[in-house]
Amino acid sequence: MTSLRAPKTLIKLTAVFCVAAVGLLLAFPVASAEERPARPAPIPPEQLKRVWRVEAVAAAIALKIGREDGGKVVQAYVSARESYAEKVGSLPRTRESFQQRRELAEKAAAGLKKALVEAVGAEKAEKILGILSPFGMTSFRLDRMVNDLIAFELPREKSRQAVLAVLEYNRDAGKAFTAAREAGSFEGVREKAQALNEGLNKELAKILSEEQMATWKEKQARPFGGRPRRQPQSGKATVQ
């Protein structure tokens, strides 16, 4: 019986991986080969910590959590993100490691939830996790978006408003993707993602200058990074 279960499990995991990959492709607009920029450089570790602190502070302020408890929230969030990043970073980038990443994400989420419940109570902990979604499929995109906002060096209040708008966008995009993945169908996800992008840009246009908005749109044109497609001799683009 054991020998029969293994192939079925492998097939199931492979199917889940493929569905998730298709979802990522459908959920966001794809630029042409000419428009797509090179893969952005990884955010340095110390800068990532700053990004995580900014995310946690924005969530705490949005939920009107006091300074003392807010400090606990920031500490718990940054610690959980850092620990998870280190563990995932040590895994090989293979399809076989996909399940390991999911298990690590589940453990990290459970650990963070426990720490937040101890810091601010169950109700606020749930709300914080709902806003931040730190271990979802879109968390790395969230970090890069927040990092791009930090680069604008906005005044404190404008910075908080912009980061919160991005957090809410990420929450809604994550919900849409998760629902589609669980349903096994990504029909309508692209349209939903485009609507969310438009809504986010409208909110940010109230905060950023025209020049900053132009820079923002340019950086977000290819949400998941990616190197330019290679052009085969036939002239047709292929995905790397």
Residue boundaries of the structural domains of the chain: 38-135, 137-220
Instruction: Say what the pLDDT of residue 48 is.
Output: 94
222 falls in which pLDDT band (50, 70, 90)?
A: low
Q: What would the DSSP string read from start to end of the chain?
A: -HHHHHHHHHHHHHHHHHHHHHHHHHHS----TTTPPPPPPPPPHHHHHHHHHHHHHHHHHHTT--HHHHHHHHHHHHHHHHHHHHHHHTS-SSGGGHHHHHHHHHHHHHHHHHHHHHHH-HHHHHHHHHHH-TTSTTHHHHHHHHHHHHTT---HHHHHHHHHHHHHHHHHHHHHHHHHHHHT--TTHHHHHHHHHHHHHHHHHTTS-HHHHHHHHHHHSSTT--PPPB--TTS--B--
Q: Decide: 145 and 220 in contact? Cβ < 8 Å.
A: yes
Instruction: Say what the pLDDT of residue 226 is.
Output: 39
Per residue in 7-48, pLDDT (tens digit) is: 444 444 444 444 444 444 444 444 444 444 456 688 999 999
**Better pLDDT: 80 or 1:** 80
133 falls in which pLDDT band (50, 70, 90)?
A: confident
Query: Mean pLDDT over residues 209-217, rounded?
Result: 96
Per-chain mean pLDDT for the chain: 79
**Better pLDDT: 186 or 67:** 67
Instruction: Say what the pLDDT of residue 191 is.
Output: 86
Query: Mean pLDDT over residues 132-158, rounded?
Result: 89
Per residue in 74-119, pLDDT (tens digit) is: 999 999 999 999 998 888 878 778 888 889 999 999 999 999 999 9
Nearest to 201 by CA among 169, 157, 154, 224: 169
Instruction: Say what the pLDDT of residue 38 is.
Output: 57
Q: 237 CB contacts (<8 Å, ≥6 apart)?
A: 32, 33, 229, 230, 231
Q: What is the pTM of this model?
A: 0.73
Q: How far apart are the C-alpha atoms of 98 and 104, rounded to whole Å?
A: 10
- Quote the percentage of the chain above a pLDDT of 70: 75
